[in-house]
Protein backbone atom coordinates (compact mmCIF):
# COMPACT_ATOMS: atom_id res chain seq x y z
CA UNK A 1 0.00 0.00 0.00
CA UNK A 2 3.08 2.20 0.21
CA UNK A 3 2.72 2.54 -3.53
CA UNK A 4 -0.67 4.18 -3.22
CA UNK A 5 0.51 6.65 -0.61
CA UNK A 6 3.18 7.93 -2.96
CA UNK A 7 0.75 8.33 -5.78
CA UNK A 8 -1.25 10.88 -3.84
CA UNK A 9 1.63 13.32 -3.51
CA UNK A 10 1.76 16.16 -5.98
CA UNK A 11 4.99 15.14 -7.71
CA UNK A 12 5.31 11.52 -6.66
CA UNK A 13 7.75 10.83 -9.47
CA UNK A 14 10.29 13.22 -7.95
CA UNK A 15 9.81 11.72 -4.53
CA UNK A 16 10.58 8.35 -5.96
CA UNK A 17 13.74 9.49 -7.71
CA UNK A 18 15.13 10.53 -4.35
CA UNK A 19 14.71 6.99 -3.08
CA UNK A 20 17.60 4.60 -3.28
CA UNK A 21 18.41 2.74 -6.48
CA UNK A 22 17.09 -0.39 -4.87
CA UNK A 23 13.61 0.85 -5.73
CA UNK A 24 14.17 0.81 -9.46
CA UNK A 25 11.63 -1.89 -10.07
CA UNK A 26 8.92 -0.09 -8.14
CA UNK A 27 9.86 3.15 -9.83
CA UNK A 28 9.38 1.67 -13.29
CA UNK A 29 6.07 0.18 -12.27
CA UNK A 30 5.06 3.52 -10.94
CA UNK A 31 5.87 5.34 -14.16
CA UNK A 32 3.83 2.89 -16.14
CA UNK A 33 0.91 3.33 -13.78
CA UNK A 34 1.17 7.09 -13.44
CA UNK A 35 -1.18 8.00 -16.33
CA UNK A 36 -3.91 6.04 -14.56
CA UNK A 37 -3.35 7.86 -11.30
CA UNK A 38 -4.05 11.16 -13.05
CA UNK A 39 -7.60 9.98 -13.72
CA UNK A 40 -8.61 9.36 -10.15
CA UNK A 41 -11.94 11.11 -10.76
CA UNK A 42 -15.04 9.02 -11.25
CA UNK A 43 -16.57 9.78 -14.65
CA UNK A 44 -19.77 8.54 -16.32
CA UNK A 45 -20.53 8.14 -20.02
CA UNK A 46 -24.27 8.86 -20.12
CA UNK A 47 -24.71 7.89 -23.79
CA UNK A 48 -22.67 5.31 -25.65
CA UNK A 49 -23.57 2.55 -28.13
CA UNK A 50 -20.83 0.10 -27.16
CA UNK A 51 -22.94 -2.92 -28.14
CA UNK A 52 -22.68 -2.08 -31.86
CA UNK A 53 -20.58 -4.23 -34.20
CA UNK A 54 -17.85 -1.55 -34.37
CA UNK A 55 -16.65 -2.94 -31.01
CA UNK A 56 -16.97 -6.66 -31.71
CA UNK A 57 -13.25 -7.09 -32.39
CA UNK A 58 -11.88 -5.46 -29.24
CA UNK A 59 -14.74 -4.84 -26.80
CA UNK A 60 -12.89 -6.27 -23.79
CA UNK A 61 -9.76 -4.17 -24.32
CA UNK A 62 -11.86 -1.07 -24.99
CA UNK A 63 -13.82 -1.62 -21.76
CA UNK A 64 -10.54 -2.07 -19.87
CA UNK A 65 -9.20 1.24 -21.26
CA UNK A 66 -12.47 2.89 -20.31
CA UNK A 67 -12.22 1.75 -16.68
CA UNK A 68 -8.54 2.71 -16.53
CA UNK A 69 -9.44 6.23 -17.67
CA UNK A 70 -11.78 6.63 -14.70
CA UNK A 71 -15.07 5.96 -16.52
CA UNK A 72 -16.83 3.70 -14.03
CA UNK A 73 -20.28 3.55 -15.58
CA UNK A 74 -21.58 3.58 -19.13
CA UNK A 75 -25.21 3.96 -20.24
CA UNK A 76 -26.34 2.24 -23.43
CA UNK A 77 -29.19 3.82 -25.42
CA UNK A 78 -30.93 1.30 -27.63
CA UNK A 79 -31.39 1.80 -31.38
CA UNK A 80 -34.36 -0.49 -32.20
CA UNK A 81 -35.65 -4.04 -31.65
CA UNK A 82 -32.78 -5.46 -33.76
CA UNK A 83 -30.15 -4.27 -31.23
CA UNK A 84 -31.85 -5.15 -27.92
CA UNK A 85 -30.28 -8.58 -27.46
CA UNK A 86 -26.71 -7.34 -28.15
CA UNK A 87 -27.27 -4.52 -25.68
CA UNK A 88 -28.58 -6.84 -22.96
CA UNK A 89 -25.68 -9.21 -23.59
CA UNK A 90 -23.34 -6.32 -22.77
CA UNK A 91 -25.14 -5.76 -19.49
CA UNK A 92 -24.55 -9.42 -18.65
CA UNK A 93 -20.87 -9.22 -19.55
CA UNK A 94 -20.17 -5.91 -17.76
CA UNK A 95 -22.32 -5.04 -14.77
CA UNK A 96 -21.30 -1.36 -15.03
CA UNK A 97 -22.95 -1.09 -18.49
CA UNK A 98 -26.62 -0.11 -18.06
CA UNK A 99 -29.21 -0.47 -20.81
CA UNK A 100 -32.03 1.79 -22.02
CA UNK A 101 -34.98 0.88 -24.20
CA UNK A 102 -36.43 3.00 -27.00
CA UNK A 103 -36.69 3.57 -30.74
CA UNK A 104 -34.08 5.82 -32.36
CA UNK A 105 -35.81 8.33 -34.68
CA UNK A 106 -33.60 7.20 -37.59
CA UNK A 107 -35.09 3.69 -37.22
CA UNK A 108 -38.67 4.94 -37.56
CA UNK A 109 -40.50 3.67 -40.66
CA UNK A 110 -43.82 1.91 -40.98
CA UNK A 111 -42.76 -0.16 -37.98
CA UNK A 112 -44.07 1.99 -35.15
CA UNK A 113 -46.66 -0.44 -33.75
CA UNK A 114 -44.27 -3.39 -33.78
CA UNK A 115 -41.45 -1.37 -32.18
CA UNK A 116 -43.72 0.07 -29.49
CA UNK A 117 -44.96 -3.43 -28.63
CA UNK A 118 -41.32 -4.55 -28.33
CA UNK A 119 -40.51 -1.67 -25.95
CA UNK A 120 -43.58 -2.33 -23.80
CA UNK A 121 -42.84 -6.05 -23.60
CA UNK A 122 -39.29 -5.36 -22.40
CA UNK A 123 -40.37 -2.71 -19.92
CA UNK A 124 -42.51 -5.36 -18.25
CA UNK A 125 -39.72 -7.89 -17.87
CA UNK A 126 -36.43 -5.98 -17.52
CA UNK A 127 -35.03 -2.98 -15.65
CA UNK A 128 -33.80 -0.05 -17.76
CA UNK A 129 -32.03 3.18 -16.87
CA UNK A 130 -34.17 5.26 -19.25
CA UNK A 131 -36.33 5.38 -22.34
CA UNK A 132 -33.79 6.11 -25.06
CA UNK A 133 -32.74 6.97 -27.49
CA UNK A 134 -35.88 8.71 -28.68
CA UNK A 135 -36.71 11.96 -30.43
CA UNK A 136 -36.79 13.54 -33.87
CA UNK A 137 -34.27 13.56 -36.70
CA UNK A 138 -35.18 15.78 -39.65
CA UNK A 139 -31.62 15.90 -40.96
CA UNK A 140 -31.38 12.66 -42.92
CA UNK A 141 -34.94 12.08 -43.94
CA UNK A 142 -38.34 13.60 -43.26
CA UNK A 143 -40.37 10.87 -44.99
CA UNK A 144 -41.52 9.52 -41.63
CA UNK A 145 -41.78 12.85 -39.83
CA UNK A 146 -45.34 12.21 -38.61
CA UNK A 147 -44.46 8.71 -37.41
CA UNK A 148 -41.39 10.08 -35.61
CA UNK A 149 -43.54 12.62 -33.75
CA UNK A 150 -46.20 10.00 -32.93
CA UNK A 151 -43.76 7.45 -31.51
CA UNK A 152 -41.77 10.09 -29.61
CA UNK A 153 -44.94 11.21 -27.80
CA UNK A 154 -45.93 7.62 -27.03
CA UNK A 155 -42.47 6.85 -25.64
CA UNK A 156 -42.69 9.91 -23.38
CA UNK A 157 -46.01 8.56 -22.07
CA UNK A 158 -44.31 5.22 -21.37
CA UNK A 159 -41.51 7.04 -19.51
CA UNK A 160 -44.08 8.76 -17.33
CA UNK A 161 -45.96 5.51 -16.72
CA UNK A 162 -42.76 3.66 -15.72
CA UNK A 163 -41.23 6.65 -13.93
CA UNK A 164 -38.13 6.62 -16.14
CA UNK A 165 -36.11 9.50 -17.58
CA UNK A 166 -35.92 10.06 -21.35
CA UNK A 167 -32.84 10.48 -23.52
CA UNK A 168 -33.59 12.72 -26.48
CA UNK A 169 -31.98 12.79 -29.91
CA UNK A 170 -32.78 16.09 -31.65
CA UNK A 171 -31.24 16.74 -35.04
CA UNK A 172 -32.56 19.68 -37.05
CA UNK A 173 -35.49 19.45 -34.66
CA UNK A 174 -34.43 20.89 -31.30
CA UNK A 175 -37.26 23.44 -31.14
CA UNK A 176 -39.82 20.77 -32.04
CA UNK A 177 -38.44 18.40 -29.38
CA UNK A 178 -38.46 21.16 -26.75
CA UNK A 179 -42.10 21.96 -27.61
CA UNK A 180 -43.18 18.34 -27.27
CA UNK A 181 -41.41 18.01 -23.90
CA UNK A 182 -42.98 21.31 -22.74
CA UNK A 183 -46.43 19.98 -23.61
CA UNK A 184 -45.78 16.68 -21.79
CA UNK A 185 -44.02 18.15 -18.74
CA UNK A 186 -46.28 17.53 -15.75
CA UNK A 187 -43.56 17.95 -13.14
CA UNK A 188 -42.46 14.31 -13.31
CA UNK A 189 -40.72 14.15 -16.68
CA UNK A 190 -36.92 14.14 -16.52
CA UNK A 191 -34.15 13.52 -18.98
CA UNK A 192 -31.29 14.57 -21.18
CA UNK A 193 -31.12 16.43 -24.47
CA UNK A 194 -28.30 14.31 -25.77
CA UNK A 195 -25.50 15.74 -27.96
CA UNK A 196 -26.60 19.28 -27.19
CA UNK A 197 -25.33 21.85 -29.69
CA UNK A 198 -28.06 24.48 -29.62
CA UNK A 199 -28.17 28.16 -28.69
CA UNK A 200 -28.09 29.71 -25.21
CA UNK A 201 -31.78 30.50 -25.62
CA UNK A 202 -32.53 26.82 -26.30
CA UNK A 203 -30.31 25.83 -23.37
CA UNK A 204 -32.33 28.09 -21.09
CA UNK A 205 -35.58 26.49 -22.27
CA UNK A 206 -34.10 23.07 -21.46
CA UNK A 207 -33.09 24.30 -18.00
CA UNK A 208 -36.63 25.65 -17.47
CA UNK A 209 -37.90 22.15 -18.27
CA UNK A 210 -35.59 20.81 -15.54
CA UNK A 211 -33.75 18.73 -18.14
CA UNK A 212 -30.02 18.16 -18.58
CA UNK A 213 -27.77 18.59 -21.62
CA UNK A 214 -25.37 15.88 -22.76
CA UNK A 215 -22.02 17.30 -23.90
CA UNK A 216 -19.88 15.20 -26.23
CA UNK A 217 -16.98 15.34 -28.68
CA UNK A 218 -18.32 18.38 -30.57
CA UNK A 219 -17.18 20.61 -27.70
CA UNK A 220 -13.55 19.73 -28.51
CA UNK A 221 -13.79 20.47 -32.26
CA UNK A 222 -11.80 23.35 -33.67
CA UNK A 223 -14.05 26.34 -34.45
CA UNK A 224 -16.96 24.81 -32.53
CA UNK A 225 -19.44 27.32 -31.21
CA UNK A 226 -20.45 25.07 -28.31
CA UNK A 227 -17.70 26.19 -25.85
CA UNK A 228 -19.01 29.78 -26.05
CA UNK A 229 -22.51 28.54 -25.21
CA UNK A 230 -21.65 26.18 -22.34
CA UNK A 231 -19.36 28.76 -20.77
CA UNK A 232 -22.53 30.37 -19.40
CA UNK A 233 -24.42 27.20 -18.45
CA UNK A 234 -24.30 26.03 -14.85
CA UNK A 235 -22.53 22.67 -14.74
CA UNK A 236 -25.36 21.23 -12.66
CA UNK A 237 -27.29 20.98 -15.97
CA UNK A 238 -24.56 19.12 -17.85
CA UNK A 239 -23.60 15.46 -18.22
CA UNK A 240 -20.78 13.82 -20.20
CA UNK A 241 -21.27 11.53 -23.16
CA UNK A 242 -19.38 10.11 -26.13
CA UNK A 243 -22.19 8.79 -28.39
CA UNK A 244 -19.66 6.10 -29.39
CA UNK A 245 -18.87 4.99 -32.02
CA UNK A 246 -19.76 8.40 -33.53
CA UNK A 247 -18.40 11.94 -33.01
CA UNK A 248 -14.98 11.16 -31.53
CA UNK A 249 -13.38 14.11 -29.72
CA UNK A 250 -10.16 15.78 -30.86
CA UNK A 251 -7.50 14.31 -31.39
CA UNK A 252 -9.46 11.22 -32.50
CA UNK A 253 -11.90 13.16 -34.67
CA UNK A 254 -13.08 11.18 -37.69
CA UNK A 255 -12.09 7.85 -36.13
CA UNK A 256 -14.12 5.42 -34.05
CA UNK A 257 -15.20 6.95 -30.78
CA UNK A 258 -15.11 4.98 -27.50
CA UNK A 259 -16.04 5.63 -23.87
CA UNK A 260 -12.40 5.81 -22.75
CA UNK A 261 -12.28 9.28 -24.38
CA UNK A 262 -14.63 10.80 -21.79
CA UNK A 263 -11.73 12.57 -19.95
CA UNK A 264 -11.02 14.59 -23.13
CA UNK A 265 -14.55 16.00 -22.99
CA UNK A 266 -14.39 16.61 -19.22
CA UNK A 267 -11.06 18.43 -19.60
CA UNK A 268 -12.47 20.71 -22.28
CA UNK A 269 -15.48 21.60 -20.11
CA UNK A 270 -13.14 22.30 -17.17
CA UNK A 271 -11.06 24.59 -19.39
CA UNK A 272 -14.07 26.45 -20.82
CA UNK A 273 -15.71 26.96 -17.43
CA UNK A 274 -12.48 27.70 -15.58
CA UNK A 275 -13.09 25.00 -12.98
CA UNK A 276 -11.14 21.90 -11.97
CA UNK A 277 -11.37 18.51 -13.61
CA UNK A 278 -12.36 17.21 -10.16
CA UNK A 279 -15.36 19.49 -10.06
CA UNK A 280 -16.48 18.54 -13.58
CA UNK A 281 -16.18 14.86 -12.69
CA UNK A 282 -17.97 15.17 -9.35
CA UNK A 283 -20.87 17.34 -10.52
CA UNK A 284 -21.55 15.61 -13.86
CA UNK A 285 -21.39 12.17 -12.21
CA UNK A 286 -23.79 13.31 -9.49
CA UNK A 287 -26.15 14.71 -12.16
CA UNK A 288 -26.11 11.38 -14.01
CA UNK A 289 -26.65 9.30 -10.85
CA UNK A 290 -29.52 11.50 -9.73
CA UNK A 291 -31.22 10.99 -13.08
CA UNK A 292 -30.54 7.33 -13.84
CA UNK A 293 -31.57 5.16 -10.94
CA UNK A 294 -29.81 2.08 -12.36
- What is the total count of residues that contact Ni ion (CB under 5 A)? 2
User: Cα(first)–Cα(last) distance of the chain, in Å?
Assistant: 32
Contact pattern from residue 215 through residue 254 relative to Ni ion, giving x for each residue in contact according to CB under 5 A and a dash for the rest? ----------------------------x-----------
Q: Which is nearer to Ni ion, 30 or 45 (CB)?
A: 45
Buried b or exposed e, range 146-170, using 16+ CB within 10 angstroms:
ebbbebbebbbebbbeeebbbbbbb
Q: Which is nearer to Ni ion, 115 or 133 (CB)?
A: 133
Q: State which residue, 167 or 272, has the beta carbon closest to Ni ion.
A: 167
- CA 208 – CA 257 distance, rounded (Å): 31
Residue sitting closest to Ni ion (CB):
243
Candidates 7-15, 95-103, 131-139, 150-158 — which segment interacts with Ni ion by CB under 5 A?
Answer: 131-139
Scanning 80-88, 128-136, 208-216, 230-238 for contacts with Ni ion by CB under 5 A, the matching segment is 128-136
Binding mask 178-217 for Ni ion (x = CB under 5 A): ----------------------------------------
Nearest approach in angstroms of CB 47 to Ni ion is 6
Q: What is the DSSP string of 201-236?
A: HHHHHHHHTT-EEEE-GGGGSTT-SHHHHHTTS-GG
Gyration radius (Cα) of the chain, Å = 20
If one asks whether residue 137 binds Ni ion (CB under 5 A), the answer comes out as no
Least distance from Ni ion to the Cβ atom of residue 79, Å? 8
Interacting positions 41-60 with Ni ion (CB under 5 A):
none
Say if CB 262 and CB 249 are below 8 A apart: no
Measured distance CA(170)–CA(139) in Å, rounded: 9
Residue 243 or 258: which CB sits closer to Ni ion? 243
- Minimum distance from CB of 49 to Ni ion (Å)? 6
For residue 115, the minimal CB distance to Ni ion (Å) is 16
DSSP sequence for 81-145: TTTHHHHHHHHHH-TTEEE-B---GGG-STTHHHHHHHHHHHHHHS--S-EEEEEEE-SS--TTH
Binding site for Ni ion (CB under 5 A): 133, 243
Amino acid sequence: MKFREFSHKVYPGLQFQKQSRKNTFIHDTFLRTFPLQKNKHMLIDTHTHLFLKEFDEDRDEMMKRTLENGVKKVYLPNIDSSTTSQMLQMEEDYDWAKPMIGLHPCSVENNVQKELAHIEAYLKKHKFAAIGEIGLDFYWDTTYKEQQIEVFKKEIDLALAYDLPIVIHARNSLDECIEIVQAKQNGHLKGIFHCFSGTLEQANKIIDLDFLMGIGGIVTFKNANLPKIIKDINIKYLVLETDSPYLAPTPHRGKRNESSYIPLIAEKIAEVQGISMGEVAAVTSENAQQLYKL
